[in-house]
Amino acid sequence: MPHQCLKCGKVYKDSRYVFEGCPECGGKSFYYTKKPLNEEKRKKLLEEIEKDDMLTGETLDDIFEDIRKKKEAALKEAEKLKEKVESIHVKEAGEYEINVRRLMEEGSIIIYREGTYYIYLPSLFSGKK
Amino acid sequence: MGLFGKLSGWLSSIFGKKHVRIGIYGPPNAGKTTLANRIAMDWAGEIVGEVSEIPHETRKVQKKDRVVIRDGKASLTLDLIDTPGIATKIDYHDFLEFGIDEEDAKQRAKEATEGVIEAIKWLDNVDGVILLMDSTKNPFTQVNITIFGNLEARELPFIIAANKIDMNGSPATLQSAFPQHEVVPISALEGINMDLFYEAILKTFGKKGR
């Protein structure tokens, strides 16, 4: 499938540009799709990438500060999961939230769907631990 | 433990392990299958599985047994376990954007969720882990931190590999994120730094006394 440069929108069949950067605009972010995106969607995606994944800052100190903040936020988020009893929350068919921490630490499989908890008993009686 | 088990345990405590089962773990799209393919191609001339840019391409554990890695006199036989990507949220809407129809996308999401459970269950059956992270992404995600903490709690030996250094990645950031642990910067796709990576494998998984 072709890759689309998120910055200028040009579509390439050759995936080598994903690694070399877009020859038109030098963009480094590509989207892998059959249906090229319009400018608005591309802009939104680029913003999301920058917001979620990239570490920002002009100087090394700024970057380290960003790292510290992101680490704190991730640890806080992970702590919150301790309160949840379910290991998997089915929001709707095809949409799942997974409590990786509970699965890893306890191995129990408890599924929450539409107000009901389903407990997979063999996961509790597996004899491990 | 049978006589053979006792003997092999005693031998490995003296000479170091010679045959280990290693799981490749990490978030979706970190390049786990690409790395498994790279290792298997470099040492056994075969690939392990198909790769794709669509997240959750690997939804079942894939195995490649008896991959022998050598460095001078040292050698180590690996049974490689390529696992599905571990994620905290799997939403079929994300697959629709890749041109997959709704029914297939929902099925893919279901299989990917089952894949996360399968990957985690396999942790009970591995001797060590290659924790693969995408060096172009923020390393502080719930997935990375949870896997890291759990591996330490289990006292499983593991290597952190910072993949995609060919894509403007930042292995230095990953190293600063996990300062107490060695981080090996690699590109599984381009085969960059694989010598260092294999050295780390021999050192970490082939050592004495485990």
Domain ranges of chain B: 17-205
**Amino acid, res. B29:** N
> Measured between alpha carbons, how far is residue A74 from residues A49, A118, B1, B100, B163 in Å?
17, 28, 42, 31, 21
> Rounded to 5 degrees, what are φ and ψ at B118?
-60, -45
Task: Report the CATH number of the B17-205 domain.
Answer: 3.40.50.300
Q: What sign has the CA pseudo-torsion B136, B138, B140, B143?
A: negative
pLDDT in tens, chain A (129 residues): 677 888 888 888 776 776 677 888 887 777 776 778 888 888 877 777 666 555 666 677 777 787 778 778 877 877 777 778 899 999 988 999 999 988 998 888 999 998 898 888 877 776 554
- Note the ipTM here: 0.79
Q: What angle do CA A33, A35, A36 make, to 5 degrees?
A: 85
Binary contact (A71, B92; C-beta < 8 A): no
Count of H-run helices and E-run strands, chain B: 7, 7
Position B2 scores a pLDDT of: 63
The dihedral over CA atoms of B46, B49, B54, B55, expressed in degrees to the nearest 10, equals -120
> Measured between alpha carbons, how far is residue B91 from residues A92, B51, B96, B137, B169 in Å?
9, 20, 10, 20, 26
B residues 82-111 lying closer than 8 A (beta carbon) to A: 86-93, 97-99, 102, 105-107, 109-110
| Model confidence, pTM | 0.76
**Which residues in chain B touch residue A73, judged by CB atoms under 8 angstroms apart?**
140
B2 or B152, which is more confident?
A: B152
Q: Which residue of A63, A100, A128 is in closest CB contact with B146?
A: A100
Maximum alpha-carbon separation in chain A: 59
- The nearest alpha carbon in chain A to B151 belongs to A104
Domain ranges of chain A: 3-52, 55-83, 85-124
Contact A55, A70 (CB under 8 A): yes
pLDDT in tens, A49-84: 666 555 666 677 777 787 778 778 877 877 777 778
> Measured between alpha carbons, how far is residue A54 from residues A14, A29, A58, A65, A66 in Å?
26, 12, 13, 13, 10
